[in-house]
Structure 1
Amino acid sequence: MEFYNQLSQYYDIIFPLNKQSVDFIKEHLVDGPVLDLAAGTGNHALALARDGFQVTATDLDENMVVKIKEKAALDEVTIIALPLAMEELDQLKDKSFSTIICLGNSLVHLNSLESVKSVTTTIYDLLDQNGKLMIQIVNYDRVLNEGITELPLINREKEQISFRRIYKHEENKILFKGELTIGGETLENEISLLPITSQQLVDVLTSVGFSKINLFGSFKGEPFEINSPALIIEATKH
């Protein structure tokens, strides 16, 4: 699709690497192989690979996977980059990981709580004992409670790029409309999101077998609150 072709080309301008997120991951990860799910163009995977971690990165979009490979080659680091949907993680069942990360509001692209449970069950199986899962999504407790219909505009004036993110509330779903404007030309795309709340996600992870589940409100590491901009979860396999 043209929308995603363009998004992959300008992804790093729209979503530049947040150093705080890298620092948070490094502080909380378990030493060993790392799996980055729905990795986009691989900014976090690359940051970890530069520090010597063995990293596997997956993304549903093959354009993103190509970008990961190109950037890894330029940086002269090794990353295993695979075009896989989250629902296809069982294809990695011959591997194991000390840490698995799923950032960038990716988890809510699954279509049901049952799908979330299925994917997190596979994640649990892929983790080493005492391994960690880290998830970052939008704080949907706040989105639902306040009836939020649009996230803050991402505007890169120098590059003449903006990304508008509109939420239309539907029964048990949110219809997400993205408007990507590049030099005056606007491309649009709509996709259904699962607005999973903090308690729903904790309940799913607990039912799968995770323990020591910690909630944060941002990559600064402060505790999660109802008005936090994000929900970040750290869960341990015991």
Structure 2
Amino acid sequence: MIESSTKGVFAPETLQDYGADPVAVRESDKYVSEYIRGFVDKWDELIDWNSRAESEGRFFIDVLKARGKETVLDVATGTGFHSVQLLKAGFSVFSADGSAEMLAKAFDNGMRHDVVLKTIHADWRWLNKDVHGKFDAIICLGNSFTHLFEEADRRRALAEFYAALKHDGILIIDQRNYDSILDHGFSTQHKYYYCGDQVVAEPVHVDEGLARFEYRFPDGSKHNLNMFPLRKNYVRGLLEDAGFRKIKTYGDFQDEAEEANPDFFVHVAEKNYV
């Protein structure tokens, strides 16, 4: 189940390919080919680990420790930021992702930070086929849930998350504030999430079924991601339908009342009914 290393999984570099009509590409499986090596290698310029660590502070660590959680499954590891942060904070972490390119980068980043990531290449829709055992907590961060375009896929993924949790486990899942983008247009300071000040990340197309973001890097390169614009209350409803209770939503790591128009929402959903 556990790969100690993901070296050697890189395929020859390719270009992102959306065909003749990029805004017509609305498929859950597309993200795998979007994260080409050239994009993955630049992803940390967008995140800026140091600034990200400073901006979010101990939020996730404190949420997990306050509930006595120890084992964490990071199902959207990306380049490894949160897996590394939680490992250093003393949690037992397993790191999963559907992109082999991302997992390889995450493993290398872990080595640079003196930790060894336990990586698992897994699709959320069949998570428990590749990930065995039960966890105290699952985190799905980095706006990753937005890669699922079909509602059936979203419901199946949440069911898989629910099944992989212990009876009193919690799910932490985040998303962009797509309500604001859809209703009022895009405006963000990227104070907390995408902190790289040399990278421009903004939508080039938005409708109720697609948010197509373009990422422009200092070297002049451009990459794109097609994502489904999830509304906040819709996600909360999906969590409830999946069986989660006591769902608390934060806006940019603050109680919702304290942040009028956050860039991101963070949902903390508990499996325990009590």
Superposition deviation, residue 22 in structure 1:
5.2
Give secondary structure in 2 for the equivalent of 1:52. Answer: coil
Match of 2:244 in 1: 210
Mapped pair 1:179 → 2:215: yes
Gap runs ≥5 in structure 1: none
1:24 to 56, 59, 79: 59
| Aligned-residue CA RMSD (Å) | 2.4
**Structure with greater strand percent:** 1
Is this contact kept in 2: 1:142–1:226, CA < 8 A?
Answer: no
The answer to whether residue 43 in structure 2 is matched with residue 11 in structure 1 is yes
Q: Secondary structure at the match of 1:76?
A: coil
Partner Cα separation in structure 2 for residue 163 and residue 204 of structure 1 = 31
- The answer for the alignment partner of 1:146 in structure 2 is 184
Counterpart residue number, 1:62: 100
1:67 positional shift: 1.6
In 2, distance between residues paired with 1:151 and 1:188? 19
Match of 1:52 among 86, 90, 93: 90
- Which residue of structure 2 aligns with residue 79 of structure 1? 117
How much does 1:23 deviate? 0.9
Deviation, 1:140, is 1.4
Q: Rate the CA distance shift 1:228–1:152 in 2: closer, same or farther, 3 A.
A: closer
| Whole-angstrom distance in 2 between the partners of 1:209 and 1:197 | 19
Instruction: Give the 4+ runs in structure 1 shifted more than 6 A.
Output: none
Shift of residue 96, structure 1, vs aligned partner? 1.1
Structure 2 unaligned spans of 5+? 1-13, 17-35
Q: Which residue of 2 aligns with 1:162?
A: 199
Alignment-mate amino acid for residue 73 of structure 1: M
Structure 2 counterpart of 1:232: 266
Aligned length: 230
SS state at 1:117 partner: helix
Q: Does 1:222 align with 2:258?
A: no
State the TM-score, normalized to the length of structure 1: 0.86
Q: Compared with structure 1, are the counterparts of its residues 52 and 142 closer, same or farther at alpha carbon in structure 2 (3 Å cutoff)?
A: same
Distance 1:204 1:71, change over 3 A: same
Using the alignment, how far apart are the partners of 1:198 and 1:187 within structure 2?
29
Aligned-pair CA distance for 1:73: 2.6
